[in-house]
Amino acid sequence: MKRRFSLLCICLLSIQMLFATQPNDGDKKRDSFRGKKPKYVFYFIGDGFGLSQSNATEAYMAAVNDSEGIQKLAMNTFPIQGLYTTYAQNQFITGSAAAGTALSTGNKTSIGTIGMDASKQKPFKTIAEKARDKGYRVGIVSSVSLNHATPASFYAHQPSRGRYYDISVDMGKSQFNFFGGGGIMHPEGDGKSNKKNKAANIGMAGNKKIKGKKENSLKLAEKQGYTIVNTNEAFHAIKSGDDKIIAINETLAGGQSLPNGIDQKEGDLSLGDYTQKAIEVLENKKGFFLMVEGGKIDWACHANDAVTAINEVIQFDQAIQKAIAFYHEHPKETLIVVCGDHETGGLTLGFSGSHYKSNFKLLENQKNSNGVFNAELKKLKKQDASFDAVLQAVRKNYGFDGEEKSTKLSEYELAQLKQAYNESFDKGEQIANKDQYYQLYGAIDPITITASHILAQKAGIGWTTFSHTATPIPVRAMGPGSTLFNGYFDNTDLPKNIEMLMKL
């Protein structure tokens, strides 16, 4: 009996070892690929960007143009569409650092880790660094700070995404040819301002004063040969052939980010503008690698702000259209890959109160993002404004109680707003249970989040969380090598595909 049991164990172990040494489907596809390889590679990452965010945007665009169904985003016209899993090494629901590292290096890591293994000891070389070392020009563009988790994952190697200063120093050391978009978080040292601070990671917390300031990381970048550009005039003066540019937007919103699309004013630069400028700087005979992050999709979804999220997806798609225009000039040499690091918010296209009905056109009534409305609420708090005064501000920003019946606030919705007012302005009985408070309001002002939820629900949209989810993410691709992105695989396969195609 013991002998038979031992033989069984040996057989099982042999089978396990056999499967462990077999290449996965992604490896097989890469090994068998014989197609033409690209010279120019665009890698678009929508932070927090899942299938629901994409489809909600298409439904919204159709609704505001008085059409039925959807109006397709440019990215959703790509011939290749696939799906992939996003889990981290130590957690099923990933974070932006672990997901960014998977998408930049082809390796799983632990939550919060940038460009290193899960033990936070071994650095992983990124596809951007490999492209640089092979003579490709390299660019990084983001709508959030350039040392935020996703862009950082392409040039930095740090045990924590919260080490903003050290990450920004790594940026200058990278010798990449172009950085553009947001600013730098904590360029003179981190202090203690971001430890376990969820709001800081989504641009809703300011920098605290720090002791023992270090040398400004942008000054260090200048010593590495970079030119810092931070005005619209200087941005427009950047031309083909310029090198080692860090272009920071003249107008920055919370978290050193570009203003949300819904809040942008005439003359403000967009993610598409930075993408186009990166193309002008990077284009050369050898080729280039350009990563563009639509980072504020994630921030809007953390805030359960459907309207702002949709506008950020539109901005992201407009940036992708710049790459498509380049593709049409170089169709045999250009690969465009569009993906997301994870989904945020648990966005659902349906709500129990609206049953099978949707009214996406209602979303057009919102005037500003939750972040801008929060700033208005702060002014009202200083005045100790009455509920009626606050309600008037809510009506104005979210378009409630207009001429259309669908905009009318019900008694139940008014009661929700009154409770939120009591919480926000510290009036009346408060929710003592912290978990219950978070489930209702997250890290956002109670009035803002309640108003945003009510508008979304009237449109037929629901939210399940203020955090990330583990739903598989779609990838779209076009150009030489794009067939590798067809199917169902893991996030680590995306950079492996790109690395093989670019011969890195």
**246-293 pLDDT tens trace:** 999 999 999 999 999 999 999 999 999 999 999 999 999 999 999 999
**Angstrom distance (rounded) from CA 498 to CA 33:** 12
Lowest-pLDDT range, 6-15, 337-346, 435-444? 6-15
Question: Which residues have C-beta within 8 Å of that of residue 365, sequence separation ≥ 6?
Answer: 398, 399, 400, 402, 407, 455
- Kindly list the structural domains of the chain, giving each domain's residue range(s) and its CATH number in brackets, ordered by start: 28-348+467-501 (3.40.720.10), 352-459 (no CATH)
**Angstrom distance (rounded) from CA 330 to CA 328:** 5
Residue 46: beta bridge partners? 294, 340
- pLDDT for 198 equals 56
Name residue, tokens 């800081």: 200
Could you tell me if 87 and 489 are in contact, meaning their C-beta atoms sit under 8 angstroms apart?
Answer: no
pLDDT band, residue 29 (cuts 50/70/90): confident
Could you tell me if 142 and 292 are in contact, meaning their C-beta atoms sit under 8 angstroms apart?
Answer: yes
Could you tell me if 77 and 71 are in contact, meaning their C-beta atoms sit under 8 angstroms apart?
Answer: no
- pLDDT for 8 equals 43
**Angstrom distance (rounded) from CA 420 to CA 459:** 21
- pLDDT for 201 equals 61
- pLDDT for 420 equals 96
- pLDDT for 26 equals 84
- pLDDT for 204 equals 58
Question: Which residues have C-beta within 8 Å of that of residue 48, sequence separation ≥ 6?
Answer: 297, 298, 299, 300, 301, 302, 309, 340, 341, 342, 343, 344, 345, 468
| Helix, strand, or coil (residue 192) | coil
Question: Regarding predicted confidence, which is higher, 114 or 20?
Answer: 114
Residue 178: beta bridge partners? 139, 245
pLDDT score of 471 more than 50: yes
Could you tell me if 339 and 36 are in contact, meaning their C-beta atoms sit under 8 angstroms apart?
Answer: no
* CA 232 centroid distance within chain: 24
- What is the rounded average pLDDT of the residues 207-230? 88
Which structure tokens are listed for 504?
A: 């890195």
pLDDT score of 427 more than 60: yes
Across the beta sheet with 80-85, the strand order is 227-229, 245-248, 178-181, 137-142, 288-294, 40-46, 334-340, 473-478, 80-85, 487-490
User: What's the chain's average pLDDT?
Assistant: 92
- pLDDT for 114 equals 98
**Angstrom distance (rounded) from CA 379 to CA 428:** 21
pTM of the model: 0.93
- pLDDT for 11 equals 43
Q: Packing angle between helix 446-459 and helix 387-398, nearest 10 degrees?
A: 40
Lowest-pLDDT range, 19-23, 97-101, 212-216, 410-414? 19-23
Question: Regarding predicted confidence, which is higher, 241 or 115?
Answer: 115
- pLDDT for 18 equals 38
pLDDT score of 25 more than 80: no
DSSP string, 311-356: HHHHHHHHHHHHHHHHHHHSTTTEEEEEEES-EES--BS--GGGTT
Which structure tokens are listed for 241?
A: 């052939």
